[in-house]
Chains A and B, each alone.
Chain A
Amino acid sequence: MTYLDHAATTPMHPDAIAAMNAQFALVGNANSLHGPGRAARRVVEESREAVAAALGARPSHVVFTGGGTEADNLAVKGLYWARRAEDPRRVRILAARIEHHAVLDALFWLEQHEGATLDWLPVRPDGSVTAASLEAALAAEPQTAALVTLMWANNEVGTVLPIRELAEVAHRRGVPIHSDAIQAAGHLPVDFAESGLDALSVTGHKLGGPLGVGALLLGRETKLTALQHGGGQERDVRSGTLDTPGIAGFAAAVTAARAEQPEEYLRLCALRDKLIEGVLRTVPDAVLSGPPLSEPGAKPDSESADRLPGIAHFCFPGCEGDSLLLLLDARGISCSTGSACSAGIAQPSHVLLAMGSTEELARGSLRFSLGRTSTEDDVDALLEALPAVVSRARAAGLS
């Protein structure tokens, strides 16, 4: 099997499996006052410290959630409500149409139900958003801005946004900024304190941890209205009994990812560039999405990366992405069209459309994503299968 869909979910790190296995058979609610409860609490707090250390945050910044979508919803809705409660004029949310649906659909919901106005920042053809465009949008009517939300790195095409610059602009205007760093956290040196962000979403299963657990890193002074009410376990902004095994696994994964990141970054960049070069060589009319390739011989630097090391996204003109996926799947190669599905029906990717792609070209999109277990053999298997698959999909055409 050739698994090239690590951006959808990636295998668990052995450290995470071990950490979870150590917890499964134990009893204890981290909020109970007795011995087993204290033992669970200790695991949770050590995990919190580990997550914080790995992501450049303080333990008190870490709000554990049930995954990335929850973290995004909590950030976007919670910040909006808190900001508007302080000043009813603050109803404008600055964002870009490249966001993941976890943010995008939360924004649309706020627009439909909570009177939010969505101010879309221009997206450049490479998928990026500039600090200058944010500055211009904020300068127009700074008093109406509720929050800014801009992802750290895009999940479909892999473009990395200049988060530090964007956060600086937002702060100059006194507007809180959230970033969905779900794809970035495992692959780039994501540092909460250094980023200047007020809120940052991460999730376990994209970086070698378990499904169903994530965190919102939230500034200590940042006001946020709770979404989910109950025991108030996490700073009173997130309720629910803490998932001790999941949190332990998440912490182990993020720790391992961070430790391995400098080397893994270089290894994945080399694999990704080999994949990109191979695809463009074997299918000359394939269109690489995202930033242009860096000069041959340029030394990859994760601090200044403009694309994620693990994502290579293409459009294959005249092909249906679904056909490509089916044909590759039949050959044991797993990848993604990268676009959202409703009832399994592919829609042209909103990310590609935001980047200025035509609907027709967007229909032929395919995302290959690499991770910790990816090897040269995976890339070779893809490159061997791809030319025949593309010509066959092209014959099937756009239905």
Chain B
Amino acid sequence: MSGGVDSAVAAARAVAAGHEVTGVHLALSRNPQSFRTGARGCCTVEDSRDARRAADVIGIPFYVWDMAERFHADVVDDFVAEYAAGRTPNPCLRCNEKIKFAAVLDKAHALGFDAVCTGHYARIVDGPDGARELHRAADPAKDQSYVLGVLDARQLAGALFPLGDSLKSDVRAEAERLGLAVADKPDSHDVCFIADGDTRGFLAERLGTAPGRIVDSSGAVVGEHQGAYGYTIGQRKGLRIGDPAGDGRPRYVLDISPVDNTVTVGTAEELAVDALDAGHVRWCGPRGGDGFDCLVQLRAHGEPVAASARYDADADLVTLAFGASVRGVAPGQTAVLYDGARVIGSATITATRRAAAVAGA
């Protein structure tokens, strides 16, 4: 129970469904802030109090579990290391994989609980062969199946998502009806452990400044940066390079090379990717065959695109070839594979192949 409306209603629904429910708030910060600032963060003392109040109203026991060390090691340190290596991680997936449906689920199992129930918007469906399947939520605007795409069959077996069939507006109305004070609490956004939302500042504190060159795809220097980790492939804003080619066309980050601390920029065309490799493959249910067609989602609120997948089990590598090229694909991001609404699995992007040749990429 994060202290937000979704997990509160999920808990209430689990109780209504006849489960014996215990509320757990995860303390993920070593030094929790007292109050929320804006809509960001999830780990303040105020959030913990909101969660406790919701548990009171629902009438369930409530505890805070200190997962700060694990969270820091598995999620925050990983986040910083990935950026330092020129990749773009998604810490929410990492948290679901390593914390909520691993450390928390394992502890819960050991203590005698059967499942971890959360306020994620996704559906668990019994598949034709009896195996559980993860599906997109009924509310397309809130669908969170992407960030759950890292769960394997065992983790899915220990998960409950009571909000998957609901619209967010209905969930808020239900919270109101139940007398939950969090009914109108704003949705949380961004990375929960970066309270002010300043990812670049957060990374700069940990990685220091490391000035380097910004070059175009021909290798010509077009600007300077204070740390390559502050950039994401596909990023357009905040480059501060003016109009290097004098053609009035926007420039995007094409490549980040931590080895020579260089950021490469180029045009939208140069950004286009038509194939990628992805490792750390996680199957949500029965694993895909050696070759199959699927829909691929590349970021939390991205549009799914058609691709044909090839799986090399020995190398634990998925290769995706896109029907139409995609933009803004960065190593470190997770590709979640769908069969219609069903999540097949996920993999972390290791390399992309550009439609147009890019020097240095």
Contacts and interface: CB of A to CB of B under 8 A. Distances in A.
B107 A326 contact: no
B223 interface: no
Interface string B50-89: 0010000000010111111010000000000000000000
B158 interface: no
B264 interface: no
A170 B16 CA distance: 62
Nearest to A327: B111
A326 B45 contact: no
Contact of B103 (A323, A327, A343, A399): A399
Contacts of A343: 27, 32, 45, 48, 64
A329 interface: yes
B111 A323 contact: yes
B128 interface: no
A396 B22 contact: no
B246 interface: no
Q: Chain B interface secondary structure, helix, strand, loop or mixed?
A: mixed
Interface string B109-144: 011100000000000000000000000000000000
B107 A330 contact: no
A399 B67 contact: yes
Interface in A373-399: 392-393, 395-397, 399
B110 A330 contact: no
Interface residues of B, number: 20
Contacts of A296: none
A345 B64 contact: yes
B107 A344 contact: no
Contacts of B25: 344
Contacts of A330: 22, 61
B158 to A, nearest CB: 14
Given A322-B65, A329-B61, A345 B27 contact: yes
A397 B110 contact: yes
A385 to B, nearest CB: 13
A326 B63 contact: yes
Contacts of A393: 111
Interface in A313-335: 322-323, 326-327, 329-330
Contacts of A395: 110
Contacts of A344: 25, 27, 48, 52, 63-64
B22 A326 contact: yes
Interface in A326-367: 326-327, 329-330, 342-346
Nearest to B33: A343
Contacts of B67: 399
Nearest to A347: B66
Interface string A206-239: 0000000000000000000000000000000000
Contacts of B112: 327, 392
A395 B110 CA distance: 6
Given A343-B45, A345-B68, 19 more contacts: A322-B63, A322-B65, A326-B22, A326-B61, A326-B63, A330-B61, A343-B27, A344-B27, A344-B52, A345-B32, A345-B66, A346-B66, A392-B112, A396-B107, A396-B110, A396-B111, A397-B110, A399-B66, A399-B70
20 contacts: A322-B63, A323-B111, A326-B61, A327-B111, A327-B112, A330-B22, A343-B32, A343-B45, A344-B27, A344-B64, A345-B27, A345-B32, A345-B64, A345-B66, A345-B68, A396-B107, A396-B111, A397-B107, A399-B103, A399-B107
